[in-house]
Chains A and B, each alone.
Chain A
Amino acid sequence: MHDILDKLGYEILFFDGAMGTILQGKGLLPGEAPELWNLQHPEVIQAIHASYLAAGAHIIKANTFGANPFKCQENGCAVEEIVPAGMRLARQAVEKAGRGAVALDIGPTGRLLAPLGDLPFEDAVEVFACMVRAGAPYADCILIETMNDLYEAKAAVLAAQENSRLPVFVTMTFDEDGKLLTGGSLSAMAAVLEGLGVTAMGLNCGLGPRQMVGLLQELREYTGLPLLVNPNAGLPQERDGCTCFDVGPEEFSKTMKELVEAGAWAVGGCCGTTPQHIAQTVRLCAGVRPGYTAPIKRRTVVASGIQAVEFGHVPVIIGERINPTGKARFKQALRENDIPYILGEGIAQQDAGAHLLDVNVGLPEIDECALMCRVVGELQSISPLPLQIDTSDPETMGQAMRMYNGKPLVNSVTAKAASMAAIFPLVQKYGGVVIGLTITEEGIPGTAEGRVQAAKHIIDTAAGYGIGKQDIIIDPLTMAVSAGQDAALVTLEALRRIRRELGVCTSLGISNVSFGLPQRDNITSAFFLMALADGLNAAILNPRSEAVMRAYRSFCALSGMDKNCMAYIEAYSQAAPVAGIEAGSAYTLRESIEKGLKEAADGATRALLREKSGLDIIDGEIVPALDQVGRLFEKKERFLPQLLASAEAAKAAFDVIKGSLGGQPSGQGKLTVVIATVKGDVHDIGKNIVKVLLENYGFHVVDLGKDVPPEAVLEAVERENAQLVGLSALMTTTVSGMKETIMLLRQKVPQVKIMVGGAVLTQEYADKIGADFYGPDAMASVRYAMALAEKW
């Protein structure tokens, strides 16, 4: 490491200040890339570097911030040209000054990563890797800065670590509420970056030094790593339509001193700062000794890209339902790639009070690795909860940990050598908290002592990989009490001893305790309470089990973990316990569907199944009810939300019948419909609405999602032997994607019918691009599909 960087922690180090805002003052045009000046005005760039070195900066940021392949391509230049040019200018400035270190400066790509955006994670890693390969030979360290998305920061860190051996610094941009623009929290950042093993982390841009003081103090609580701060010269002010920064060098430097005293080890400036700001800061802070203001706590913490969950305080609920074991419906969803069903299980658990979601998609006949990554990505786009990656396949574990947005809980490792050798390197590289099961080469120890020893072996072996106790949670294994009288007692004793003697957090999968017994919830919730009283930190369970959650919420209220009993009151103040839906719904099935009542439809269907066959219920009740609602919609007496509520109520009824038949009920199922939002368009709500309706009219719908290229539509039509294709586009500019798709389908599969819809489409346009049918609203497409099904 460069001798200046070696001083980190022994004396305060100084970064330089702004580049971009100074270039704007020198004539950089709106939208013009500052990095182009490395080639066009090298003397200007070098002079700016020199002025910061003269001001006393130790580390200067090369002018490479936005020189990623995307922006270089837009500007007609190459990363391999512009990055080294910028690096050389910084190097030359350092040589002339006779001192200083150079940071390869890496900013965000400007693109959002999939699945919320369209940039695949590995593409993002490669984009950053290009910059690292081009710049690392000239650099003393890599500064990944102004990141407002933890996921993108993770891609950049992996690229830096995999393509260089340089120290990696990461600073991110928070707003005054301590949130990233993507909604991520300081604690999530600390967990993820520390897990990835960066050299230092901190804050830059967005705010002035004043607003960063509180944030830095909070960050100090979350991490023991060195902290860096590069604030703007105050909050940006909009004046006369332009952005200005008002805090002068004097005031800036005084607050920078506060930041240093609050625990920052390296400080500098971002937008609006000048060599004067840095010079003044150096004068005021150079003599201050770096130090921590508070002792660093070792925290056991996992995170998503948005929020962190800490173990060791309020017991953590890990929802267990995303798991095919013993669930026919879930297995069917996995085989059919029915992602929405799996996501629905996640949301239901989140609503029921889960803090984390376990994800297990292992079935022998599927590609577990691909499906795991897809489910993890999709779940993270709809839920802020951190995930527990649950697989016995190390390859799947590695891939999922890599693309996971955050610091995951890893389920699991055992005390067996092979298991630890496979899992610990992954935790070491990607970061994570790992669940250690007390299983040895000989099996599950029958005694508490055996399980404590197994736990100790796991902890000791992990230490050899640099994995601390704070990143291990021990599960001393719940065994069925029906199979051994002392089974529960052994588990609980092991639990107490592991907490006391080894000082790690603990977790249990609790429901196994009641295996083989009637009314299992009685035993499960009583065991859960006993374990909680013994200090259990986390439990894997079904949060939709009311008995278990009742025990949990009561425990939290009674043990002083629920302030003013607020959580308890919130959960139970609507005192009316949910009446058994089967018992006495006031509505018939037809009424339930017409009114859009899911639970009532579920209950009414169960009652009806005692008298009628599933098919009779579909033909005699569900279809007529849906038809009635459809007619009212067409007469504009019902509106879209009501139509959808009815469809969902019908779906609840279908699900009950499906369950009773053990598969797909027939009906319109003979017609297969492939639907997609066309290439170039990412708006999928219209397509999703049509999908829900079609499914609930009994059609087999293959949903290809959004931004779907013509070739993928063709491939699905051929594979599924579909008779009908539905294409959606929202924007005028993407309707051309629709035309291309239709042309391809006409050429290759002329027999297939094509219907189109979307806000900007008209009958006239639909005719022009050669569609068979234009659906002005969702119901119209259902009617068209029904008419086709009759002819078929």
Chain B
Amino acid sequence: MNETLPKAQFLQKSKLKLIDCDIHPRLRSIADLKPYLSTRWWDTIQTYGLRKRHGFVKGHPYPKSQPGDGARRDSWPENGDPSGSSLPLMQQQHLDYYGVDIGVMNPLWPGSGDQNADLSAALASAHNDWQLDLWHAKEPRLRPSIVVPYENIEASVAEIHKRAPNKSFCQVFLLSRTNEALGRKKYWPIYEAAVQYNLPIGIHVFGFSGVPISSSGWPSFYIEEMAEHGTACSALVTSMIMEGLFERFPTLKIVMIEAGFGWIPSLGWRLDKSWKNMRGEVPHLKRAPSEYLKDHIYVTTQPIEEPEKPEHLIDLIDWIGWDKVMFASDYAHWDFDDPIFSVPPNWSEERRRKIYSENAMSVFRF
């Protein structure tokens, strides 16, 4: 009797299609990657382990508020495997329960940012095979992302060229906290390759760069990390705009995943104000910074802003654009959003349809 009743709860209330832009499949253990790693790299991992750039090599800078790297407590398989590692449970508890039509897989395991550049390349590539074999082949609704070793540019580009011909892959996947600001030219070959295949760049918050989440040093609490993703991503997006990334790649689409979006309008206002005074410093920008922001930056809903006055949420999206906001659940993490509650049901069907599916259909390569 202690089971969640299986029912397409979402579909019962709505005929809208549902695309979830943030699902986290998880390794049962690192042994899941062994078939895709050479003996050389498997031995290296066993003997030397990983080399994250931050100081907490065996965990996160901020312990999560729920065990299992911040897992929903009801998402642990009965056999004791980690939360998020069981496809049958994910199907029962999430894909079938809500009637998810397409789910974007965003693997968060730290290998892609490892400081051993060649190991990170091997791990990123292994993750891509793992997504195909253990998830997508068994559940075609789950679409893989091209995980790239983003600090190893050459290998990242090679990985995009290797994977992109397979139309199952729907985006190139980065984390937000990189060694340098993501707009810097060092990273441009990654964007160039993505644009070549018309793949969006999905940037999920977190990362292993060793850079504080806050621009004012290391804060004390996890709750600060949760709130500072917005400011960290604000700096990231600013770097992309100011470096001229969107002038160079006018078709590039950036999806900010789990970053919130309340910060976006104020960033646009501030950048435009300063740009009027200092456009000579960045003469490669042909338009006001807010225009790049509005044209190139897509956001996902979870964890959605909850202003005291619900109309403020509408004002926010009016500024960002109703074609730029896409539903995400963050399954199986503790701060998961339920599709029924996170997108207000009193919004017009047209708006909800855009957020639940239409925008994602036009952004990702499905």
Whether both chains belong to one complex is answered with no
Using a CB–CB cutoff of 8 Å, the interface residues on chain A facing chain B are none
- B-side residues, CB < 8 A to A, are none
